[in-house]
């Protein structure tokens, strides 16, 4: 193992790296193999029974996958990590590891649409009840807890209205009641927020976003205590949401520049949010780095930066909003975030397309809401693109 250093970017480059003594390769190889051979039956038995270290079958574990897990554990200040074939595989496998039939889960109402659908459509099939609450109202979380609550699940900042949840408070509540606190920290990334330092037990990312960072890999990550990650890997083996070694290698590569990219996402987020706030064709801007945001002081205390997602409401109707989006020339009309290219989408037609109108209303997702996921281009160019589209509505 080589020295990993202390700084965030030093860790993104070096943590989890193993020096390849046979070739001296600086970059770890891609072990694109589905299976590993043994030199003898004894070795096979020792590895299978975990008496000796080694690999058996890529669905169980793989050296390229392991390298990215070790890096992520360091970045999130967690004991261990497991990676998955998508953010949704990470979320569903985590929850299915934590709950059993008859259990109860408390969650933020503001959630990524896929997670909400899993909570509302899949968990009830296994007799797991879910209470959805406004997680920015701490008393509501507290009063939603029942004797059989096993998990408190939150997203922060939330998708797409960027509400900020007080993680220290929620973590204390979980600890007091012996309930696992799980955070989807995708919108923050470990550069801006480290939930384990605030007492959170389990941190999840859709690594498809900032961690991969180039709009070219689909992956998920879960970080937590070693004992939990071991159970989680057992569940991953059975459910099968393993990350392919090439995707793991892309993720490793993306992570090396996470600090550089996040600094730029944060800068672009702030500059574009300020521009939008002053624009006469914009009714409302959602960005936790603006003093006008209701959770600004909490966000400032809890986060190092505020990320590259800015949501805003156009002063007009659905048709006007569509016209604005369709006139953008630099920003891609696409439903993701956290990559090098700026993406724009209307949440009602993307992340929240399958969410009921009633639930959308409760989460404040209107027909005029636009989610801008800023990339790492020059903010002047992004602003010029927005301005020319505003001029057409």
Ligand X SMILES: Cc1ncc(COP(=O)(O)O)c(C=O)c1O
Residue ranges that bind ligand X, judged by CB under 6 A: 86-88, 112, 114, 155, 159, 184, 186-187, 206, 208, 218, 220, 351
| Spatial distance between the Cα atoms of 206 and 83, rounded to a whole number of angstroms | 10
Residues pairing with 83 in the sheet: 221
| Residue appearing with tokens 């975990």 | 50
Closest CA to 151 of 114, 181, 109: 181
Give the single-character DSSP code of 207: T
184 is catalytic: yes
- Of all residues in the shown chain, the one whose CB is closest to ligand X is 87
Closest CA to 218 of 243, 254, 191: 243
Q: Of 31, 55, 112, 210, which residue is the catalytic one?
A: 112
| Residue appearing with tokens 């006139």 | 327
**Smallest gap, in angstroms, from Cβ of residue 32 to ligand X?**
21
Strand boundaries in the chain, DSSP class E: 80-84, 104-108, 129-133, 149-155, 180-184, 202-206, 220-224, 282-286, 309-314, 332-333, 343-345, 369-373
**Smallest gap, in angstroms, from Cβ of residue 204 to ligand X?**
7
Two structure tokens written together for 256:
């090396």
Q: Of 11, 66, 194, 209, which residue is the catalytic one?
A: 209
Cα separation values, 167 from 21, 45, 159, 234, 328, Å: 43, 44, 16, 28, 36
| Spatial distance between the Cα atoms of 2 and 392, rounded to a whole number of angstroms | 55
Q: Which is nearer to ligand X, 8 or 112 (CB)?
A: 112
Q: Of 184, 244, 367, 385, which residue is the catalytic one?
A: 184
**Smallest gap, in angstroms, from Cβ of residue 280 to ligand X?**
30
Q: Which is nearer to ligand X, 193 or 383 (CB)?
A: 193
* 279 C-beta neighbours (distance < 10 Å), count: 16
**Smallest gap, in angstroms, from Cβ of residue 112 to ligand X?**
4
Q: Which is nearer to ligand X, 185 or 201 (CB)?
A: 185
59 is catalytic: yes
286 is catalytic: no
178 is catalytic: no
Q: Which is nearer to ligand X, 55 or 187 (CB)?
A: 187
Q: Residue 359 half-sphere exposure, CB side, CA atoms within 13 Å?
A: 20
Q: Which is nearer to ligand X, 206 or 379 (CB)?
A: 206
Contacts of 148 (CB under 8 A, 6+ apart): 102, 103, 104
CA angle, residues 167, 359, 280, in degrees to nearest 5: 80
Q: Residue 270 half-sphere exposure, CB side, CA atoms within 13 Å?
A: 12
Q: Which is nearer to ligand X, 28 or 87 (CB)?
A: 87
The continuous run of DSSP H or E covering 301 comes out as helix 296-302
Q: Which is nearer to ligand X, 155 or 367 (CB)?
A: 155
Phi first, then psi, for residue 83 (nearest 5°) are -110, 155
**Smallest gap, in angstroms, from Cβ of residue 86 to ligand X?**
3
As annotated, the active-site residues are 59, 112, 184, 209
């Amino acid at each position: 193992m080589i020295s990993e250093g202390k700084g965030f970017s030093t860790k993104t480059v070096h943590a989890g790296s193993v020096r390849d003594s046979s070739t001296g390769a600086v970059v770890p190889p891609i072990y694109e193999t589905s299976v590993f051979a043994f030199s003898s039956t004894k070795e096979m038995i020792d590895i299978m029974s975990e008496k000796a270290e080694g690999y058996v079958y890529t669905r169980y574990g793989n050296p390229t996958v392991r390298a990215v897990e070790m890096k992520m554990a360091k970045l999130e200040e967690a004991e261990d990590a497991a990676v998955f074939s998508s953010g949704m595989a990470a979320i569903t496998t985590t929850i299915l590891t934590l709950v059993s039939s008859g259990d109860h889960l408390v969650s933020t109402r503001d959630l990524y649409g896929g997670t909400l659908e899993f909570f509302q459509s899949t968990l009830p099939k296994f007799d797991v009840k879910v209470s959805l609450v406004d997680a920015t109202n701490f008393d509501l979380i507290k009063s939603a807890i029942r004797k059989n609550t096993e998990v408190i699940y939150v997203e922060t900042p939330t998708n797409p209205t960027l509400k900020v949840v007080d993680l220290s408070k929620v973590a204390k509540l979980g600890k007091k009641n012996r309930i696992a606190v799980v955070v989807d920290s995708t919108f923050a990334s470990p550069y801006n927020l480290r939930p384990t330092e605030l007492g959170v037990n389990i941190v999840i990312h859709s690594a498809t976003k900032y961690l991969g960072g180039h709009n070219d890999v689909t992956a998920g990550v879960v970080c937590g205590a070693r004992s939990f990650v071991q159970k989680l890997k057992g569940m991953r083996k059975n459910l099968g949401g393993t990350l392919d070694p090439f995707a793991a290698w892309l993720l490793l590569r993306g992570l090396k520049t996470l600090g550089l990219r996040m600094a730029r996402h944060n800068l672009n987020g702030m500059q574009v949010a300020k521009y939008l706030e002053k624009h006469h064709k914009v009714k409302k801007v959602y960005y936790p780095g603006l003093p006008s945001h209701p959770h600004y002081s909490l966000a400032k205390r809890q986060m190092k930066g505020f990320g590259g997602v800015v949501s805003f409401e156009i002063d007009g109707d659905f048709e006007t909003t569509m016209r604005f989006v369709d006139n953008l020339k630099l920003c891609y009309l696409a439903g993701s975030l956290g990559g090098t290219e700026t993406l724009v989408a209307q949440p009602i037609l993307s992340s929240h397309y399958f969410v009921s109108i009633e639930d959308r209303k409760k989460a404040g997702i209107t027909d005029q809401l636009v989610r801008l996921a800023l990339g790492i281009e020059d903010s002047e160019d992004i602003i010029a693109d927005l301005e020319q589209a505003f001029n057409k509505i």
